[in-house]
Chains A and B, each alone.
Chain A
Amino acid sequence: MTDQKEMEASQHHVVSPMIYIIVGSTLLVLTGLTVWASFQEWGVFNPIAAILIACIKAMIVVLFFMHVKYSSRLTKLTVFCGLFTFLTLVGMTLADYISRAWGQW
């Protein structure tokens, strides 16, 4: 019975509100940053910066708001596999469209 209780305690990690406050304000600061970045003249780096900041924001949401940092290995593996499959599909599709000679559309 104690084993079971310990297991429950370790699996059911409760994230403290302080972390949520830090994460929430970080996300708002990053939103401000990405808007500021879009007003800069960085040429080809404008979209790169915007997407990079979006990826960082999404990662913070997944890890903390969605508790993946504190979840079981199965959940971590599931999220990782999903993301990997998604990026493979999008990456290969885009690689095909960009590298092919489509001619005059």
Chain B
Amino acid sequence: MSDSTALAHEAPEHGHEAHPAYLRHHFENTAQQADAAGFAMWLFLLTEVMFFGGLFTAYLIYRNWYYPAFVEASHQLNIFWGTLNTAVLITSSFTMAMGVWCAEMRKQSGLVLCLVLTFILGIGFLGIKTVEYKEKIEKHHVPGFHYSLKSFVDPQSDPEIYKEYHDKPLALDMARHTELYFFLYFAMTGMHALHMIIGIAILGYMILRARAGAYTLGHVTFVENFGLYWHFVDIVWIFLFPLLYLISRHQ
């Protein structure tokens, strides 16, 4: 191969200026590329909004129909664990936001620290959720063949909940609908937890990449858009918490 062909390959191909290696050829500049990625990420998040929105709407409709059942069933949820989990998730959103800042400021160790903290807080959230799920399993409040109506047709058989709320026994046909509450509870918190699990897996990948020096050389799109996803999951919980845990305390 002659020197001239080698030179021809090294020279700018279409006569355009030098640019960062991560700038794709169909974009004018890095800002346009980042904007396009952000726009696409928001479109994806809007489909997620619609997905969770369907579940929220189902919850609101059934709560309206089977109100007494939904009130008594929601008394089974533990406000302490719910509040703690909200705090854990908001803190993880904060560490994630700080991670995006570290990436933009090109602080590699800061980024790794923030991602690791977010990872740990995410695991912590799932741990607390497991404690709550375990309680539901032990009381046979998971919808299915083994579902038990005992806490609702005979509230005094469940002394811990009874001493706090003094619920009246529900008629059998209304008590049956508590199963629907728990179905929606597991569907909504379960889908939320699945999003957390996917997020935690991506966080693990990002921690490895960040340790190798990625994301802190000016190309922060991946971290930024993952941040959007993580904050979206936080927002879903911000609505799940009051709807499932709080709004039926006094009814």
Contact = CB atoms under 8 A, between A and B. Distances in A.
Interface of A: 1, 4, 7-8, 11-12, 14-17, 20-21, 23-24, 27-28, 31, 34-35, 37-39, 41-43, 46-47, 50-51, 53-54, 57-58, 61-62, 64-67, 71-72, 74-75, 78-79, 82-83, 85-86, 89-90, 93-94, 97-98, 102, 105
Contact of B49 (A21, A27, A82): A82
B83 A72 contact: no
A66 B49 contact: no
Nearest to B224: A67
Nearest to B43: A78
A20 B98 contact: yes
A34 B38 CA distance: 32
A34 B242 contact: yes
A11 B35 contact: yes
A65 B93 contact: yes
A46 B50 contact: no
B61 A94 contact: yes
B87 to A, nearest CB: 6
A38 B247 contact: yes
The majority secondary structure among interface residues of chain A is: helix
Contact of A15 (B46, B86, B101): B101
Interface in B192-251: 224, 227-228, 231-232, 234-235, 238-239, 241-243, 245-247, 249-250
Nearest to B17: A1
The 3 A-B pairs with the shortest beta carbon distances in the complex, nearest first, are A24-B94, A82-B46, A50-B242
Question: Considering residues A24, A43, A66, A83, which has the most beta carbons from chain B within 10 angstroms of its beta carbon?
Answer: A66
Interface of B: 17, 29-31, 34-35, 38-39, 42-43, 45-46, 49-50, 53, 56-57, 60-61, 64-65, 79, 83, 86-87, 90-91, 93-94, 96-98, 101, 104-105, 224, 227-228, 231-232, 234-235, 238-239, 241-243, 245-247, 249-250
Contact of A17 (B35, B61, B91, B101): B101
B242 A71 contact: no
A58 to B, nearest CB: 5
B247 A47 contact: yes
Nearest to B90: A27
Given A4-B29, A11-B31, A90-B53, A98 B64 contact: yes
Nearest to B232: A66
Contacts of A14: 101, 104-105
A93 B246 contact: no
Given A72-B38, A90-B56, 20 more contacts: A11-B34, A14-B105, A20-B97, A23-B94, A27-B90, A28-B91, A34-B241, A35-B246, A38-B79, A46-B247, A46-B250, A54-B241, A61-B93, A65-B94, A65-B97, A75-B35, A86-B46, A90-B60, A93-B57, A98-B64
